[in-house]
C-alpha cells in the first residue's frame, strides 16, 4: 500500500483546514472545511481570509455567517506560519452548542421546579391549619345559620388548593414506578368508581366494555388510575350537563388498549398540538397539568397516548405493553 501524502491525510481528517497566501487570499481548503462552510472550492479560492475570520491569530469559539445568512457555531484556531502564510483550523460545534443549550434549559427547569415545589410545600402546612380551624368553626355554627355556606365554601376552596398542590408535586417530582402484575379491568373499574359521583351530578352516563377474559398487565396501577381519572374528568368537563362516556378495554395479546370516548364539544383545531403541554388549559379553574402528567406516566410505562376529536366528541386512546 502506498504511504498517504500529507495532503491526502489533511483531506481525510474531520477537522477543517484553510490555507492562505501572505496577502490573505485563500489557496486551499480541505473537504471538512468546505463542508463546514457549505461552500465549494471554487467559491472560496482567492477570497480574503480576513473577510471570513476577521481576528487573526488566536483560538476561539465564534459564530460565522455563511450563505443564506445561515449561522454556524465554530471553534477556530488561526495560525500565522513562519513563511508569512496563514492557516485556519476550523471545527463545526453545532452539536456541542445544541447540547450546551439543552443542558442549560434543563438546569433552569430543574431549579425552577425545586424552587416552586419548595414554596408549594410551605403552603401546605398553614393550609392544613386553616382547614382545621374552618372545620371547627363549621361545627360551632348552627345547622340553619346562613354563615354555614361561607364556611363550607372556605373548606371547599382549601380542598381545591390542596389538590392543586398535590398535582403540582406529581408534576415537579414524579415518583418512581411501582410495577406489579395487575388486572386491567380492575384498574378501569376503580377509576370509574372515583368519578361516578361527579358524572351522576352532571347526568353523565359511564358505559364500560370489557373482554370476557381477565386481562393482566405489568404496570403501576395507581399511576394508570390517575391517568384514567384525568381523562374521565376532562371528558365530563367537555360535556357540561348531559352526555355519555364510553370506556373500552381491548386485549391486543402483547399489549392492551384503553379507549375513552366522550360526546363532548371536541378539541378545537388550533389547540390540538398544545393539550399535552404543562399548564396549558382553556378552563377558568383549570391548572393544565392533567394531560401532561398523564402523558408522562404513559411514556414511563413505554406506552402511548393519542386522541381523535371532532365537534361531536373526543376519543383518547392509551396503549400499554403487557410486560
Ligand X SMILES: Nc1ncnc2c1ncn2[C@@H]1O[C@H](COP(=O)(O)OP(=O)(O)OP(=O)(O)O)[C@@H](O)[C@H]1O
Closest CA to 297 of 249, 226, 193: 226
Work out whether 288 is an interface residue with ligand X (CB under 6 A): yes
Give the SS3 label for residue 202: coil
Least Å from the CB of residue 125 to ligand X = 23
Residue matched to cell numbers 443542558: 103
Work out whether 170 is an interface residue with ligand X (CB under 6 A): no
Work out whether 199 is an interface residue with ligand X (CB under 6 A): no
Contact string (CB under 6 A) for ligand X, positions 207-246, x = contact: -----------------------x---xx--x--------
268-287 positions binding ligand X, by CB under 6 A: 275, 280-283, 286-287
Give the SS3 label for residue 285: coil
Indicate the residue among 78 and 292 with the shorter CB distance to ligand X. Answer: 292
Give the SS3 label for residue 240: coil
What secondary structure does DSSP assign to 94-139, as a single string? HHHHHHHHHHHHHHHHHHHHHHHHHHHHHHHHHHHHHHHHHHHHHH
Indicate the residue among 226 and 234 with the shorter CB distance to Mg ion. Answer: 234
Strand partners, 204: 243
Least Å from the CB of residue 268 to ligand X = 8
Q: How many residues lie near ligand X (CB under 6 A)?
A: 20
Work out whether 314 is an interface residue with ligand X (CB under 6 A): yes
Question: Which of ligand X, Mg ion, none lies near 288, with the C-beta cut-off 5 to 8 A by kind?
Answer: ligand X
Work out whether 291 is an interface residue with ligand X (CB under 6 A): yes
Work out whether 264 is an interface residue with ligand X (CB under 6 A): yes
Closest CA to 53 of 83, 101, 20: 20
Closest CA to 228 of 263, 258, 265: 258
Question: Which of Mg ion, ligand X, none lies near 195, with the C-beta cut-off 5 to 8 A by kind?
Answer: none
Amino acid at each position: 500500500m502506498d504511504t498517504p501524502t500529507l495532503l491526502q491525510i489533511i483531506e481525510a481528517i474531520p477537522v477543517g483546514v484553510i490555507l492562505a497566501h501572505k496577502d490573505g487570499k485563500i489557496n486551499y481548503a480541505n473537504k471538512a472545511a468546505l463542508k463546514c462552510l457549505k461552500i465549494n472550492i471554487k467559491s472560496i479560492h482567492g477570497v480574503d481570509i480576513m473577510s471570513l475570520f476577521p481576528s487573526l491569530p488566536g483560538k476561539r469559539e465564534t459564530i460565522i455567517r455563511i450563505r443564506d445568512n445561515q449561522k454556524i457555531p465554530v471553534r477556530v484556531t488561526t495560525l500565522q506560519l513562519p513563511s508569512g502564510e496563514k492557516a485556519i483550523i476550523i471545527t463545526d460545534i453545532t452539536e456541542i452548542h445544541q447540547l450546551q443549550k439543552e443542558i442549560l434549559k434543563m438546569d433552569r427547569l430543574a431549579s425552577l421546579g425545586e424552587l416552586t415545589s419548595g414554596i408549594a410545600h410551605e403552603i401546605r402546612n398553614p393550609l392544613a391549619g386553616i382547614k382545621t380551624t374552618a372545620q371547627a368553626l363549621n361545627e360551632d355554627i348552627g345547622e340553619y345559620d346562613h354563615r354555614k355556606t361561607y364556611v363550607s365554601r372556605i373548606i371547599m376552596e382549601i380542598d381545591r388548593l390542596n389538590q392543586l398542590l398535590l398535582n403540582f408535586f406529581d408534576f415537579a417530582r414524579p415518583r418512581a414506578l411501582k410495577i406489579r402484575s395487575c388486572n386491567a379491568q380492575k384498574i378501569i373499574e376503580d377509576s370509574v368508581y372515583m368519578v361516578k359521583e361527579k358524572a351522576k351530578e352532571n347526568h353523565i352516563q359511564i358505559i364500560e366494555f370489557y373482554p370476557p377474559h381477565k386481562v393482566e398487565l405489568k404496570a403501576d396501577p395507581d399511576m394508570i388510575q390517575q391517568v384514567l381519572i384525568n381523562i374521565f374528568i376532562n371528558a365530563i368537563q367537555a360535556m357540561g350537563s348531559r352526555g355519555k362516556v364510553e370506556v373500552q378495554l381491548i386485549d391486543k395479546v402483547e399489549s392492551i388498549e384503553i379507549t375513552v370516548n366522550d360526546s363532548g364539544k371536541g378539541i378545537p383545531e388550533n389547540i390540538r398540538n398544545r393539550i399535552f403541554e404543562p399548564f396549558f388549559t382553556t378552563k377558568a379553574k383549570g391548572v393544565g397539568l392533567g394531560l401532561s402528567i398523564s402523558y408522562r406516566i404513559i411514556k414511563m410505562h413505554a406506552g402511548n397516548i393519542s386522541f381523535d376529536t371532532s365537534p361531536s366528541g373526543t376519543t383518547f386512546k392509551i396503549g400499554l405493553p403487557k410486560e
